[in-house]
Amino acid sequence: MSESEAPEPDSPADSEEAETNAQLFGVWDVTEIEYSDPSTERYINVTPIAHTMGRHAGKQFQKSEISIVERLVNRLMQTEENTGHKQKTMKIVKEAFEIVHERTEENPVQVLVRAVENAAPREETVRLKYGGISVPQAVDVAPQRRVDQALKFIAEGTQRGSYKTPQSADEALAQVLIGAADYDVQSYAIGQKEESERVAEAAR
């Protein structure tokens, strides 16, 4: 290769673009996220990619390999108004993250991770039949299901907070995330987690 054909060094603009591409929504750093719950850590994947174009579809046990942010987006899409509107739902999450940052001065991705960890129930009940009688039995919740349940509670809390109310969906989501991250028992997600564990405790 001649000297004239040698590749040019990366310009500052290229370096800045690469750095931006490594951030969620081009804003939030995801490289220094801290986890407090070792059991769910491997199932809470944080990446700068919020839309994998459905590459995980049909792979039941590989859903934990995609970003927890995209999993939240997918959960929020399981409502009547947002079904099939992924770009619209991603915009809701992006705006909610901005609200979270304004109110907490924290990285909203870190707030989301903490909210999921706090809202993940450790126990739940199943129904066992003995001679035709249905009896509740407390069981431990698998780590992957704990994350699934936490995302479900956060999505339900967002829907309840924004359905037929003056509050917008992004405001409702931000409120649920902050409440769950702070372990506020008045938050819908934490309330559902506490209720699940209370019922399981009674069924031991």
- Domain borders along the chain are 9-202
**Cα–Cα distance between 128 and 103 in angstroms, integer?**
45
Please indicate, yes or no, whether the overall pTM of this predicted structure exceeds 0.75.
Answer: yes
Q: State pLDDT tens for residues 122-177.
A: 999 888 888 888 888 889 999 999 999 999 999 999 998 888 888 899 999 999 99
The percent of residues above 70 in pLDDT, for the chain, comes to 83
> Which CATH number describes the domain made up of 9-202?
1.10.455.10
Q: Report the pLDDT value the prediction gives residue 55, as an integer from 0 to 100.
A: 63
- Of 69 and 136, the structure prediction assigns the larger pLDDT to 69
**Cα–Cα distance between 76 and 17 in angstroms, integer?**
30
Mean pLDDT of the chain: 84
